[in-house]
Amino acid sequence: MAMRIRNYFLTGLVIAGPIGITLWLTWTFIQWVDGWVKPLVPRVYNPDTYLPFAVPGFGLIVAVFIITVVGFLAANFAGRSLISFGESLVGRMPLVRNLYSGLKQIFETILDERGNTFSKAALVEYPRKGLWAIAFISTNTKGEVAKRLDDTAETVSVFLPTTPNPTSGFLLFVPRTDVIELSMSVEDAAKLVISAGLVNPDYPEIVAEHIEEAPDSERKAG
């Protein structure tokens, strides 16, 4: 009986844990945005002024609306001219311009729907030969780094995340011949990293999906 209750508890924990953490993180984010935006909203437009309770998410709605309006204004000629003028002013500030340009490039890379932040999951030998780590292929190595390494071999830029926090890691430039591409998706590989190897995608299903998605020429070659 005790074993059955224990199993029920663990099953419930597996179901309720992710749901609870997701709801908590969502609620924390909403409160954080509300804490920043609500004080900036005039009292006459703030529903908290007329209601006996605070309206959660109102600040988030206002923030989304303002960001959308900024995007709309930036899409026309006057908006682009104003942004160019502002960026030219920022470009004259030694420290601020480096911070701004770096953040802008990061946001453009992440939010650009036309590009892939990470194209594939892969295995690379790290930190020494014989030890393998999950990495995410970003792109072919470009710029000065590619030029300097051109004499050795074709290289790819990979991001090697740390466990259990995949947002930190290392940028590595690895010869393409030393990279083993995986059939699993980037999301499945991220779960593998976060769980420290405890959550493994089903390998036969991955191979079957990969074969189904592959072009006819690839299937025949295989």
Residues 6+ apart with CB under 8 A from 43: 49
Q: Which of 209, 198, 116, 196 is nearest to 157 (CA)?
A: 116
pLDDT number for residue 31: 92
From first to last of the 222 residues of the chain, give the pLDDT tens digit. 888 888 888 888 888 888 888 899 899 999 999 999 989 889 888 888 888 888 889 999 999 999 898 888 887 877 778 888 888 888 888 888 888 887 777 677 666 654 456 778 999 999 888 999 999 998 888 888 888 887 667 888 999 988 887 778 899 999 988 999 998 888 888 888 888 888 887 776 655 555 555 555 444 444
Domains and CATH numbers, the chain: 120-221 (2.30.30)
Residue 79 CB neighbours (<10 A)? 14
pLDDT number for residue 217: 45
Q: Give the H or E element holding residue 132.
A: strand 132-140
pTM confidence score:
0.56
Q: Are 199 and 191 in contact (CB under 8 A)?
A: yes
Q: Are 42 and 58 in contact (CB under 8 A)?
A: no
Q: How far apart are CA 15 and CA 84, in angstroms?
A: 50
Tokens at 201, concatenated: 């995608």
Q: Which of 179, 160, 162 is nearest to 170 (CA)?
A: 160
pLDDT number for residue 27: 92
Give the strand pairing for 132-140 and 120-125: antiparallel
